[in-house]
Structure 1
Amino acid sequence: MTTLRPENLYHVGIIVEDFESELKRLTELFGYEWCDELVADTNVRIHTADGPVEKTITNRFTYSVNEPRLEIIRPIPGTVWTPSNSGAHHLGYWSDDVVADSAALVALGMPLEVEGVGPDGLPYWTYHRGTQGPRVELVSSAIKPGLEGYWAAGAAR
């Protein structure tokens, strides 16, 4: 059984074609404020029918300073990072054990789609996709202090 609980949900990820306009729209509609955009080269392992494929991608995204947090992401054509018809691309959950929680989601019918691979070769985040609803992202709670610092810096601007 997965250890994920509602209180572990910390963000909703949304992929948008027009990044700046969407940030402005969400600010005007709901009063969201934004952290600086992050650009991160990430080694990922993409799970395909033919097996895993490793590559490096460049993610560009920001989080809202306000809670509930939104993560607004620029698309990456030819990957899972494309806009969703429903708007919500994924629900992001903290995980104290990404490997075990990932295995639990797979056992519950949510196949592993892609994972961010750390220097130790282990995943520190994963995406899982079932037959319905948005993806579930597991994020190692070990990186929580770094993200909290990022959010605090955005709030201080």
Structure 2
Amino acid sequence: MSENIVFVKQKEASPVRSADQFHIGLVVDDVPRAAAELSAAAGYEWCEEIGAPASVVLPAGRTVLDLRSLYSRSTPRIELVRSVPGTLWQAADSGIHHLGYWSDDVAADSEELTRRGHVREALGVRPDGTPHWAFHRGPVGPRIELVTRTLQPVLERYWATGRKPS
């Protein structure tokens, strides 16, 4: 029995574009081990770990979480995120935790994803309250992470040098 797949042209603009996808996020309990395994298996090279305490809005309210990750210098880009017990940042059996996309307007794109049935699980906010990243969970597949495009030049320098942004 063959299954017919029907491709439907979108009637309205998507809140994210496939061309803006820039990394695959994996949440792991042991970042050095995961990095070593990916290096041995596929030749990945890694940047220094980045991260810090971050102000995050979760469904239960605003909190500060110590969010840390390690990006590959190699492409396709992989982000290894240190797990944070009791949050959405827990290691997934399937491996892929999220797909990261650049966003020119995190607040608007996040609202549009919510309108389309993708539950917002977390929103990273700057001290002035401006969103600079968001995580959404849709009905299927990995989470979608929106990242403000204003971070793109900073991350590109990080990937090129492998050193933490100053």
Q: 1:8 aligns with which of 10, 20, 27?
A: 20
Distance, in Å, in 2 between the alignment partners of 1:19 and 1:88 is 14
Q: CA deviation at 1:130?
A: 1.4
2:87 counterpart letter in structure 1: T
1:37 and 2:49 matched: yes
Residue number in structure 1 paired with 2:31: 19
Residue number in structure 2 paired with 1:152: 160
1:5 counterpart letter in structure 2: R
Q: CA deviation at 1:39?
A: 2.8
**Is there any run of 5+ residues in structure 2 with no aligned partner, and where?**
1-12
- Partner secondary structure for residue 147 of structure 1: helix
Check conservation: 2:28, 2:91, Cα contact below 8 A. Answer: yes
> What is the count of residue pairs matched by the alignment?
151
Q: 1:141 aligns with which of 143, 149, 157?
A: 149
Please identify runs of 4+ aligned residues in structure 1 that moved more than 2 A.
Answer: none
Distance, in Å, in 2 between the alignment partners of 1:150 and 1:20 is 18
Distance, in Å, in 2 between the alignment partners of 1:40 and 1:6 is 29
- Partner secondary structure for residue 34 of structure 1: coil
Q: Sequence identity of aligned pairs in percent?
A: 44
Deviations 1:114-150 (A, max 9, x none): 0001122121000000122110000000111111111
RMSD over aligned Cα atoms? 1.2
Distance, in Å, in 2 between the alignment partners of 1:55 and 1:18 is 24
Q: CA deviation at 1:3?
A: 3.8
Larger Rg: 2
TM-score under structure 2 normalisation?
0.87
Residue number in structure 1 paired with 2:112: 104
**Is there any run of 5+ residues in structure 1 with no aligned partner, and where?**
none
Deviations 1:25-45 (A, max 9, x none): 100111100000113110000
Q: CA deviation at 1:107?
A: 1.3
Deviations 1:71-111 (A, max 9, x none): 00111101111011210000000000111111111111101
